[in-house]
Amino acid sequence: MTHIIDRGYNSYDLFTRMTGSGAFFVTRLLANAVFEIIEPLPLSLENIDRGVVGDCLIYLGGPNTRCPFKLRLITYWAEDGRIYRYLTNRLDLDPWVICQMHHWRWEIDLFFRFIKQYLKVKRFLGRNENAVLIQLYAALITFMLLQIYAKVAENLDRVTKRVLRRVRRRLLGWVPDDEIAAYLAAIGSG
């Protein structure tokens, strides 16, 4: 298993403990990190074409705070012109795979942000896998139904606060038969 860590948790002691216990990690290196390059590693043309501009073994830290294990530093030049430096103790993987691992970590962060922001799931009501999945499915179904309602009944591209108030009012109150018929007609003609 490889832990993909946010760079906010950069701790030389944590990296030392993980490497010493046989656990693997990938993280972005802080811009002000101190390290000493031990050995540059060769890059394939394919990796260079993908944007990997450096791969080397390093000692992390200064004389007093040095991590005793050799670590790997991969430098990646992204298409947007930004340079990323990834730190890992995975010496067995291709540098491009390391870059992609961290990229997918960011995608997972975006997914959880979507869950919190749009599905309004701030915390899980249950602790087992089934309870979490039921809560996520219910939230996703509700979100999709609201999107469909906003598009069909309100002719909007996204759910607004006005749409949410209207749905809430409809769910909690009595709806006249003529409004139901008008809504069904709108769906049928849309």
What ranges do the domains of the chain cover?
A: 2-95, 129-189
> Could you report the per-residue pLDDT of 48-61, keeping only the tens digit for each?
999 999 999 999 98
Helix, strand or coil, per DSSP, at residue 174:
coil
Q: Which residue has tokens 């991969």? A: 74
Structure tokens, 82: 């930004």
Stretch 139-163: mean pLDDT, rounded?
Answer: 84
Q: What's the pLDDT tens digit per position in 106-116?
A: 888 888 888 88
User: What's this model's pTM, rounded to 2 decimal places?
Assistant: 0.66
